[in-house]
């Protein structure tokens, strides 16, 4: 691969790294992933095949992934740069940045705000620096899109003291929402609605109130735990209930319960996967689905109020794009606003889901987070 404007996009999680390479025109060239980092069942998957590997840490995993992609034509020396997804940029990193020592330190300073995410992003950044120290790297932040929220939407009703600094609503899935706004007309062949309820529904799930292309509200808050029922996260829960769990279980066990054992998994006792729950059909599985849909509609009311009305709703993410039953129930819950869904279009997963003449539009917009990161990296590098 000799494309000089190619961008490598990396999304590092706790036990995996996903990679995608885009050319200068943002066409995808290569994809790959490593999973099972730190465990006994590591695996490297690239277009030419998959193989097991010992992956004790992120640096080892990234080297293995790049070697695998290298066999399929990736040449680090031919890249324009690398774009990283970073979950948390705090209050200061609200736009894409070239990663300098100062920016790296700012990302590190946000670790207390995202202890399950930012350390892994930094591990990938540092690994690339070791492998290719001259290769420019950029960061796109999931929190950045929500910096346009008014202060009254961001601040918790806490006194301004040293111990409360940094405790505010940040919002997440911002790269997904920015991609939706940026690609809207090209994908839907319709103008961007003035008041758009964006639904990023997957293992992590949130809603965003987008007015005139800018976020004015999000269901996620200080962390990705808040808001909707999710795959393994509780969604919104009373602070005193959290304190109770911390007292009786200990902080670490309570944190694990809230983030990894709750949501669809906790309610059903079966799975965090919406497809598995729909196939199971048990009462517990059905209740978990009911809970997910009920709270999506209920939180939608809050987002609609933040926008002062609604012109359209859009679905993205694994559940949003692939679960017609969930979409149908959410659209039905918004029917009082004049949303008239087209059942056949919804079942077929078409782009337009609403009937002609519906007061409210409804759409499916595929998630394009990696492409958005590549877009932002090219812009940053073009002006660096």
Q: Are 138 and 73 in contact (CB under 8 A)?
A: no
**Strand order, beta sheet including 97-98:** 49-52, 43-46, 28-35, 16-22, 6-12, 79-86, 137-141, 97-98
In 132-171, alpha helices (H):
151-154
d(CA 86, CA 58): 15
Q: Which distant-in-sequence residues (6+ apart) come within 8 Å of 234 by Cβ?
A: 225, 258, 262, 263, 266
DSSP 182: H
Show which residues are catalytic. Answer: 142
d(CA 151, CA 171): 13
β-bridge partners, 314: 198, 363
């Amino acid at each position: 691969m000799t494309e000089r404007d190619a961008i490598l996009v990396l999304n590092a999680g706790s036990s995996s790294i996903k990679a995608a390479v885009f050319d200068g025109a943002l066409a995808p060239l290569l994809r790959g992933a490593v999973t099972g980092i730190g465990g006994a069942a590591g695996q490297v998957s690239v277009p030419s095949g998959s193989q097991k590997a010992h992956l004790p840490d992120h640096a080892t995993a990234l080297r293995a992934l790049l070697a695998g992609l290298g066999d399929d034509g990736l040449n680090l020396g031919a890249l324009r740069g690398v774009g990283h997804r970073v979950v948390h940029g705090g209050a200061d990193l609200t736009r894409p940045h070239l990663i300098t020592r100062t920016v790296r330190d700012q990302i590190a300073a946000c670790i207390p705000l995202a202890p399950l995410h930012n350390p892994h992003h930094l591990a990938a950044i540092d690994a690339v620096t070791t492998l290719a120290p001259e290769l420019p790297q950029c960061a796109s932040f999931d929190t950045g899109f929500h910096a346009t929220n008014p202060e009254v939407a961001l601040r918790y009703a806490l006194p301004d003291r040293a111990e409360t600094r940094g405790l505010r609503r940040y919002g997440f899935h911002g790269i997904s929402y920015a991609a939706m706004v940026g690609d809207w007309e090209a994908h839907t062949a319709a103008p961007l609605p003035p008041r758009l309820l964006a639904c990023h529904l997957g293992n992590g799930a949130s809603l965003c109130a987008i007015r005139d292309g800018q976020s004015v509200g999000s269901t996620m808050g200080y962390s990705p735990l808040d808001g909707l029922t999710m795959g393994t996260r509780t969604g919104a829960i009373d602070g005193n209930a959290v304190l109770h769990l911390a007292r009786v279980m200990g902080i670490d066990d309570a944190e694990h319960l809230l983030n990894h054992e709750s949501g669809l998994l906790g309610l059903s006792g079966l799975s965090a996967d919406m497809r598995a729950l729909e196939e199971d059909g048990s009462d517990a599985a059905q209740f978990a689905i009911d809970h997910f849909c009920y709270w999506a509609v209920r939180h939608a009311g809050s987002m609609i109020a933040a926008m002062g009305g609604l012109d359209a709703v859009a679905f993205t993410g694994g559940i949003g794009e692939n679960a017609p039953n969930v979409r149908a129930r959410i659209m039905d819950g918004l029917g009082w606003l004049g949303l008239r869904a087209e059942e056949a279009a919804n079942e077929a997963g078409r782009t337009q889901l609403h009937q002609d003449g519906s007061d409210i539009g409804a759409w499916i917009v595929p998630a394009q987070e990696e492409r958005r990161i590549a877009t932002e990296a090219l812009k940053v590098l073009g002006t660096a």
